[in-house]
Amino acid sequence: MAAVIVARRRHRNAQRAQELVFRRRISLFDLSDNDIVWRYRLPGHAIIALLDEIKDDIEPITQRSHAVPGIVKLLSTLQVLASGSFQTPIAGDSGYQLQPWIVTPVRNPVTEGEAAYNRAYIWTRGIIERIFGILKSRFRCLDRSGGALLYSPCKVCKVVVVCCILHNIAIRAGVRLGEQEAEGEGNSDSDEEEPNAPLGEVRPERGRDVRLNIIRNYFE
């Protein structure tokens, strides 16, 4: 009986260990040349050359079994860029006008689906707000306390990306936020929901339809 119990435990532990192993489901070798170009907009040899050029930046540092290989990261990114699947509605706070491309919380939710949508929205926005707070604490150029970025929107986006890269470098180098900076985290102006000017044509009816479809498809 003891031997049977030990064998069953070993079997269960082996199953749990196997569940943690990353299974590569994206591969170039299963596709024809035409399929590769259609899916990734690049031929196979160009993708391999690109991987060789950037592999030091995207290959996992850890040797753990569930680490995502660099080729999977690259192929996933290329597929998203080629398909445009990332162009989904973005979450905006209640200061924004509801639009087909900007979804906002439901005021006074009635159904369980609307309440679940609001909970998911608050959870998601909380993560983004914390990220903004950390970046603004480390790089004051992104916060009003350090002035304003008097550049074009395109250049401002590049500045933000550079700050994200430098932040990751600082984390890898073991540089933590100072106590004074950490105290300022979360107290930035991003927590204030100020009214925002509508972008382009105002289409709240279509925005409500988009939000309603999201609630029906994912929260009801």
Cα–Cα distance for residue pair 167/196, rounded to 1 Å: 28
Cα–Cα distance for residue pair 175/183, rounded to 1 Å: 16
Residue with tokens 């030990």: 6
Res. 13: pLDDT tops 60: no
Q: What is the 3-state secondary structure (H, E, C) of the chain?
A: CHHHHHHHHHHHHHHHHHHCCCCCCCCCCCCCHHHHHHHHCCCHHHHHHHHHHHHHHHCCCCCCCCCCCHHHHHHHHHHHHHHCCCCCCEECCCCCCCECCEECCCCCCCCHHHHHHHHHHHHHHHHHHHHHHHHHHHCHHHCHHHCCCCCCHHHHHHHHHHHHHHHHHHHHCCCCCCHHHHHHCCCCHHHCCCCCCCCCCCCHHHHHHHHHHHHHHHCC
Res. 37: pLDDT tops 60: yes
pLDDT digits (tens, 9 = 90+) for 167-202: 888 888 887 776 445 444 444 444 444 444 444 455
Residue 62 banded pLDDT, cuts 50, 70, 90: low
pLDDT digits (tens, 9 = 90+) for 121-136: 888 888 888 888 888 8
